[in-house]
Structure 1
């Protein structure tokens, strides 16, 4: 009965996620502060956007110089001689698929694994590039073989930490239906593994993908809404604060884009995320 009532009250594009037209001018005029006007501080609202889009390109406000890596040659030059390990869920698998599609010389090696779970391995012999993907450990929202599923902390502990290693992970989407304590404990284990990795290989580049808002269909809104994802996002930022890691703010990058929210962001957003990843991997000299 409860679900039926919800179906009646809330319809996408009818009374849910509907644009509200302005009753007056749609623009906002920002006036300079008057001389002597006191500063107003709020102890409740403390929010600063991490960036914005201009002409379809992401501009970071945290000091990160985001470069545009256009074409296979620019990406290949950045990743030349590097090993890139990707760990996480299907939103990280999107990045492996992006690299496979963007780099014609990067050839996926057939491991005979499931396209849903992996693991995956791709090699560019000439440019000495290796890219791997491995799904994070349970909880997972599908049924399949668990023989190739490993925890991220264990994978990080197995890394030797050779030069030019890039570690990327994102873990959030499968945890929204569980108590936040489960997510906290998982991130704490990963954090300890990150500390150990940086201890034996301090030049390892570690990049973390945050959560992002989704399309709020009825079943998603009830069982795994963006409210749960926000909690995961806050926890992740708190646990890794102070470590030598980089965050890709997927939440802001999806929310700020004109394309609709989606669990798996559309290609233009993915391209901008990858540009941030490459900018962290290959920072501009002198910048």
Structure 2
């Protein structure tokens, strides 16, 4: 049957479906039966798969993980959501592990050895495979587990109605459609009586306490069952230089470089990308040498608002009347006339998880914000998205990511010397509600971003890898992790 969709829309749908299906193939096809039959971090076992008399710099340490359930039976399928890291506290060193899933309950975790000295292994079972399957089903059982209210305002009067990515048609209820005609992004609100659709001014979210998990499945996500450390009795792991020469020299970090996984490691509390030399940005002078004469556009969520806070409160390029996270949902602009420096922070557009009303008329999708700018050699975009999409089906996120890529491609056609940096989302708090904000949803989105932007001339800041390696559990990474995110971002920008 011939499709009636325009060719561009057909192509877009194909790309969305194709990427979604590739991610879906990673999801274990298992069903929850009894809690005691699910993977138990405490009962599972670790041992070194390639024990050696001497571990040498540049080699891999391979650890085997055998998963068992709560009654001591060996698991017969894979798909557990694990978080492995190798670290050395006294050296300020850490690296993520690469997981090889044999789909029979056993895993090999590959840890590259990038520093000399003592190393410790940590592997956390975040969610069992049965939990992963349940979260995937839950995420795609509706068009979201949070809701929205829109506020209509006219001549001093106001009315509040429900909004969302899709609304049920009801008798006597008219629905306002808010659609971007270029990128086909859309959301909807019930039209308030005696108001026009154009009079929608403010938006907020609310938690309807929606859940698509069964009572039995919820037991897997009790706090005591999340991020359980796999017990171990591994012999000491001491890495020596052996006869290996130093690692090959790396070029300066540049746009368009591919980002492997792991993409780097911490050493002496500094991130070291595997594929390039990162410039350290620590002082106001460091940043000014990079940004003087530049226009910097930060588009995304509060993890980029964190950049703006750094510029106003730490290096103090600008004065701003709010401090901390006050007014984080506001669009912000700052100008340093003496240094010819302009910085703006704007949200990525609907959806935004914000539980008080905020003025959203100035919101535009990231792709539209890119389209508005001419670009040029003195223009830098830093873009992120993810945290506010965890509550919705993955295809909505894929579509948004592909639209941003399309806008960046158009930007490069008119201004090929513009710098665009994509910052992946990062891990967040362990207590975050799993259906709304859990890290498994963030991980699938991280995979999408890596795939969508892998062959485009952008800088890719792998904040996911950084926060896993440093064991950061905060939606706004602190300390050395945030400092490294900043340094890698501006290494690409300058």
CA, structure 1 residues 128+109, in 2 after alignment: closer, same or farther (shift >3 Å)? Answer: farther
Mapped to 1, the partners of 2:435 and 2:233 lie a distance apart of 32
- Matched residue SS, 1:203: coil
Q: How far apart are residue 199 of structure 1 and its match?
A: 0.8
User: What residue in structure 2 maps to residue 276 of structure 1?
Assistant: 488
Partner in structure 1 of residue 131 of structure 2? none
Aligned equivalent of 1:153: 367
1:79 aligned to 285, 291, 312, which one?
Answer: 291
User: Structure 1 residues 239, 5: closer, same or farther in 2, change over 3 A?
Assistant: closer
Report how many residues are paired: 259
After superposition, where does 1:1-287 map in structure 2 within 5 Å? 2=215, 6=219, 10-12=222-224, 16-20=226-230, 22-27=232-237, 48-61=261-274, 63-108=275-320, 115-142=327-354, 143-217=357-431, 220-258=433-471, 260-282=472-494
Q: Distance in 2 between matches of 1:150 and 1:82?
A: 22
* Cα shift at 1:238: 1.3
| Range moving further from structure 2, 208-217 or 243-252 | 208-217
Question: What is the CA–CA distance in structure 2 between the aligned matches of 1:104 and 1:243, rounded to whole Å?
Answer: 33
The DSSP-based 3-state class of the residue aligned with 1:130 is strand
Equivalent residue of 1:174, what SS?
A: helix
Partner-residue secondary structure (3-state), 1:53: strand
1:19 CA drift (Å)? 4.3
Question: Residues 109 and 79 of structure 1: is their aligned pair in 2 closer, same or farther, counting only changes over 3 Å?
Answer: farther
Q: Return the offset for 1:64.
A: 2.0
| Structure 2 CA distance for aligned equivalents of residues 130 and 121 of structure 1 | 8
**Partner SS, residue 359 of structure 2:** coil
Higher relative CO (Cα under 8 Å, sequence separation at least 6) belongs to 1
Quote the Cα distance in structure 2 between the aligned partners of 1:29 and 1:73. Answer: 37
Secondary structure at the aligned position of 2:358 is classed as coil
Q: 1:150 Cα shift?
A: 1.2
Cα deviation digits, residues 165-208 of structure 1 (max 9, x gap): 00011011111111111111111211111011111111101000
Q: Quote the RMSD (CA, aligned, Å).
A: 2.5
- Residue 51 of structure 1 and its aligned partner are, at CA, apart by 0.5
Matches of 2:467 and 2:218, distance apart in 1: 30
CA contact (8 A) 1:10 1:16 kept: yes
Q: 1:86 and 1:22 mapped to 2: Cα distance?
A: 43
CA distance in 1, matches of 2:467, 2:296: 24
CA distance in 1 between counterparts of 2:331 and 2:442 reads 25
Give 1 or 2: higher strand fraction. 2
8 Å CA contact 2:311–2:317 kept in 1: the answer is no
Secondary structure of the corresponding residue to residue 132 of structure 1: strand
Is the 1:246–1:280 contact (alpha carbons within 8 Å) kept by the matching residues of 2?
yes
Do the aligned residues in 1 keep the contact of 2:378 with 2:418 (CA within 8 Å)?
yes
Instruction: Say whether the 8 Å CA contact 2:265–2:469 is kept in structure 1.
Output: yes
Q: 2:255: which partner in 1?
A: none
Unaligned runs of 5+ in 1: 33-46, 283-287
SS at match of 1:231: helix
CA contact (8 A) 2:380 2:420 kept: yes
Instruction: Give the conservation status (yes or no) of the 8 Å contact 1:109–1:122.
Output: no
| Residue aligned with 1:207, SS | strand
Higher helix residue share: 1
In the superposition, the TM-score normalised over structure 1's length comes to 0.82
Q: Residue 105 of structure 1: CA displacement? A: 3.3
Per the TM alignment, residue 147 of structure 1 is displaced from its structure 2 partner at its CA by 1.5
| Mapped partners of 1:24, 1:115: distance in 2 | 49
Q: Structure 1 residues 240 and 109 mapped into 2: Cα distance closer, same or farther (>3 Å)?
A: farther
Query: What is the SS of the residue equivalent to 1:140?
Result: coil
Structure showing greater Rg:
2
Alpha-carbon distance, 1:67 to partner: 1.2
How many Å apart are 1:20 and its aligned residue? 4.9
Cα-to-partner distance string for 1:80-108 (whole Å, 9 max, x where unaligned) = 11110000011111111112223333344
